[in-house]
Amino acid sequence: MPAPPAPAGSPPHGWASATAWRRLQTQLPNGPVRQAVRERAIDAVLLRARELVRHAVRPTRVLSLGWPDDGDLDLEATVERPRPWGPDDLRLSRRAPREADVVAVLDMSLSMTGEKIALVAVATAILRMKLEHVAVVAFDTVAHVLVRSGERLPLRELVRRVLEVPAQGYTNIEGGLVAGRRELAHGRHSERVGMLFTDGVANVGQDPVGAAFRYPHLHVVHVGDHHPQGARACLAMSRAGRGRLYRARAYGDLPGVVRRAVRELFRS
């Protein structure tokens, strides 16, 4: 049964607290009410994210091992070894978590409304639930590093930082990509991936295609209304970054698109 509506003038509950938080954080004075609304907003974002990944497991990879490592006998690989067989010819396999360094690069320019920011927070939370090593960069006129590469951060704190980004300024995609690539350079894993969420329409900075080319892999989620300039830019960035292009026709589609992208990009 849905919760009853909050009385007029009372702080919002549920998803309304997440969509209103950008506005309320500048209106509510510091104190218990402001803190309670912020925690409700974080709870609402995490609830949506968990509903989308409820039946999903973290990506894994299959390790090929030799005896006496722990694992299951890989009979096919073992019989392919030259005879006569000895203990060192036993081949084993074991599933292990897929280890990759990922940076999420988030378009947070002035056009971002409270609900759009909340949906971006849901999508970023899904990334963090599925992939352990996630750095986060937001950009408007300049780039803002929200989570550094290798920073051990509780999921709630990651969501709070995304929700509290002040959507402002112009759209400098190139600046966001440069900052994201800088974070990936500090990664510890051989697999390093960027994921850009944007409508593709930059109005300050240099051509972002050059910055995309410097990524080992850059996947682009083109979000929002179809704009010819933005569509061309997103396609060009994904190609330059040797990545895939995904399309979220509205911000409400973004979390589901990100869930699908993670499943496709990081499956074993």
> What pTM did the predictor assign?
0.81
Give residue 145's region: left, alpha or beta (phi > 0; psi -120 to 50).
beta
Handedness of CA 164, 133, 142, 140 (dihedral sign): negative
- State residue 7's pLDDT score: 43
Nearest to 143 by CA among 107, 101, 197: 107
Q: Is 240 in contact with 217 (CB distance < 8 Å)?
A: no
Q: Which two tokens stand for residue 76?
A: 């096919």
- Cα separation, 128 vs 156, in Å, equals 11
Q: Which domains does the chain have, with CATH numbers?
A: 14-44 (no CATH), 60-97 (no CATH), 101-265 (3.40.50.410)
Residue 58 reports pLDDT greater than 70: no
The radius of gyration computed from the CA coordinates of the chain, to the nearest angstrom, equals: 21
- Cα separation, 78 vs 91, in Å, equals 5
Give residue-wise pLDDT tens across range 13-22: 899 999 998 8
Residues in the chain: 268
Give residue-wise pLDDT tens across range 197-238: 999 999 999 999 999 999 999 999 999 887 899 999 999 999
Q: Is 235 in contact with 245 (CB distance < 8 Å)?
A: yes
